[in-house]
Amino acid sequence: MKIFIFFVVLAICLTLNAYAAEAPISGVTAICSEHYGSHDTSGNGQFSPNNVVNGDGLTHYGVDATHQTSDYTWGHWFQTFFIDQGQTIDKAWIRFDLGKEYYIDEMYVWNFCGGGAQDAGMKNVIITYSEDGVEWETLGKYVFAEADVTGSQIAATNDINGRPIQFYGAYARFVKITVDGAKNSGNYGRGSGGEDNQEVVGLAAVMFTEAENTAGGVGSSEESSGSPPQKAIIFTVSGIVITAAVLTAVFKFISKKNPKTSVRNKIYLSSVSVLLLGLLAWCPLMTVMENFSILEFDDNRNYKDPARTYEDVPFASVMNKMEDGKASLENMYTNYLPAYDRVVGRLSDTENSVQMKFLSLFSPKTEIPNSDDLNGEDFIDTKSINFTAMYTREDAERRYYIIQPYDFIEPAMKMSPENLRVNMLRQLGEINRLIESCPVDFYLYIIKTMQDERYFNDIIPDEYCTADLFNEFWDGIKGEAGKDFFKIDTLDKKLKKAFKTDHHWNAAGVYEAYCDIIAMISKNSPEIGKPLPVKNIKTYPNIQMRGSWAAQAGYARFYEEFFVYEYDLPPAVRGTDIQSNAARFDAGEFDNINGGNPFFDCYHSYYHARRLYAYQNNTGRNLLIIADSLSYWSGWLIAANFDRTYLIFPWDNADIDFTQYIINNGITDVLVMLYAPAVVYNIARTSDLEHLLTK
């Protein structure tokens, strides 16, 4: 009985440690832009920027702390600007120095909340980060929530949806928040003392947390894949200990009930105990062997700092060493336990499958056609089918749903309709700016998602359908631009032209889009010719296609056959021809790889992205494509009808003189070909068109 109690207590302690609240990064300092009030820009005086990071006004220094709302002179920073002197809060900033580089996970924000002056809080902002304070990367544009000061304390207000700002493991020491707009846009309308000639903006507190999984770094969720980071200790040490406790109890019970078999049971129990202890000892042994360069292992990079740090308390140094030890233990089992990632993925997959089967038992049965026989233009009537849409996971921008029948995965954008419209109008303005300044023919091709179609709510009724927002965007495009979009206005079209588990189009969808684009451009430039015919359809029956949505949902049960289209392309200029892994796929190098990694990225692994394609066509037409990852399978094909084709990716966040680039490279046609969540709603911040500078 003693050994059973020991195992249970040990499992509880390890589990509680795994779920311990994460401590924010400490020792952060702040400075702010020069301004026209009488307040510090770098010190610790009243209203100085360091009040935002020193814990003043908070119940304690932690992300679950609350901030007092009664007194704006305590624990707040703000700046005052005088309109009659040509001053404005627009582009005012506060910059944070974390003391050293971190892989940043989240930023928690307590907006200005003191003394009834919550309307001085920041509203529209731009967040950037840097390793050295010189070269800056843009995280994105955000809307901070206004503080609700009806009580004496408020929790972190964060963004407009109440969520902390996600940094996705960005590696940085410095973070800057810049106000994006004047009064009522950059703040919630505050003029100091109610005077119309002043604008005021400020914050109460900001905290940063460190990412537990730093493998991926910053990037659009559109491009991310793999299982989300898990609490490894739950599935490793605690799992092993709990198993040992249960087996101990079972064998003790059997031995008491049947004394004759007690010897055999003891032998069996001893064997199992040795196995379990071996698993517990495996990771420390591998750690030692790698430290002495005896063996070398792949690094999962799931490192975690101590959950908490003790200061100004008795035995602080001893307690901090204990916290260091617990963090080291978790890091060791996270990074060295064999097949940890696959075990976690399979557990999540099994959990989702069981839930889906349970839901299916209570869903009305519907006779549906075989999805292999989808031939009609309007074959699937979504209103007559009872769909099961099970929520599984979410990331910073989307919630993921497993859909039956037809076995596919579909996300829904999490951003509120109000904020989606704000982003849409901003993106519409950017597109119209490019159209107006473009000295050559301009074309727009948007890859719509199911959320932009009316039947979306027939399948996922609890999420917001963006069809009206898309139509508003479409109708607002000005000028003589040629425009078209990827047609998935019925579910059968979507299933035939897009992957069921990935956000990219499949080979059939690529070819249709290619034909659409060439037909659109050839109306003004017939010299580019007609679309190339498909030469061959190549299938890979031993590869099960599971894409980025399956990886984000953590669900491996849905898959489809992987195939590509082949064409007779015109001869390419040396060094600019299409690059692919076709030979390796053909040789079977990736066959049955799914057993080791069910989310192997077939789409990104087959073709390689280029920034320039040049064919010996002599059409006299050079194309510029403003593109995203959808161009990996289509850019080289569209380029086959032009002499030279250049690709610019907005996610580079590099400023480009749009007009001068066109002139310097002899561009005759510009094509914006982007994914709707990027170009229309910019939810993943991969389509910041403001970097294309115009005069």
Contacts of 372 (CB under 8 A, 6+ apart): none
Q: Is residue 156 part of a domain?
A: yes
Q: Is residue 609 part of a domain?
A: no
Same domain, 68 and 105: yes
Question: Angle at CA 465, nearest 5°, toward 464 and 466?
Answer: 110
Query: Residues of the chain whose pLDDT is less than 70?
Result: 1-22, 34-46, 84, 191-197, 212-269, 272, 276, 279, 290, 295-313, 327, 330-331, 333-379, 592-598, 653, 684-687
Same domain, 176 and 50: yes
**Residue range of the domain that includes 96:** 29-210
Q: Is residue 520 part of a domain?
A: no
Same domain, 66 and 188: yes
Same domain, 99 and 182: yes
Give the model's pLDDT for residue 199.
84
Answer with the one of 338, 365, 381 that is the final residue of a domain.
338
Q: Radius of gyration (Cα) for the chain, nearest Å?
A: 29
Q: Is residue 491 part of a domain?
A: no
Q: How many CB atoms lie within 10 A of CB 197?
A: 12
Nearest to 179 by CA among 132, 141, 135: 141
Give the model's pLDDT for residue 213.
42
Same domain, 60 and 175: yes
Beta bridge partners of 399: 394, 412
Answer with the one of 210, 244, 263 that is the final residue of a domain.
210
Q: DSSP per residue over 348-361, as a string?
A: HHHHHHHHHHHHHH
Same domain, 45 and 143: yes
Helices then strands, each counted (H, E), the chain:
17, 22
CATH code for the domain in which residue 55 is found: 2.60.120.260
Q: DSSP per residue over 435-484, as a string?
A: HHH-SSEEEEEEE--GGGSTTHHHHSTTS---HHHHHHHHHT--TT-EEE
Give the model's pLDDT for residue 394.
79
Same domain, 123 and 143: yes
Q: Is residue 383 part of a domain?
A: yes
Give the model's pLDDT for residue 210.
87
Helix runs in 162-224, H state only: none
Same domain, 66 and 175: yes
Same domain, 158 and 54: yes
Give the model's pLDDT for residue 369.
44
165-179 and 93-111 beta bridge pairing: antiparallel
Same domain, 261 and 356: no
3-class DSSP assignment, residue 1: coil
Give the model's pLDDT for residue 219.
33
CA distance 466 to 475: 14
Q: Is residue 385 part of a domain?
A: yes
Answer with the one of 357, 388, 410 that is the final residue of a domain.
410
Backbone angles phi, psi at 622, to 5 degrees: -120, 130
What total of structural domains would you count in the chain? 3
Q: Is residue 541 part of a domain?
A: no
* Burial class of residue 555 (count of CB atoms within 10 Å of its CB; 0-12, 13-18, 19+): buried
* pTM for the structure as a whole: 0.56
3-class DSSP assignment, residue 656: strand
Same domain, 39 and 146: yes
Q: Is residue 470 part of a domain?
A: no
Same domain, 127 and 63: yes
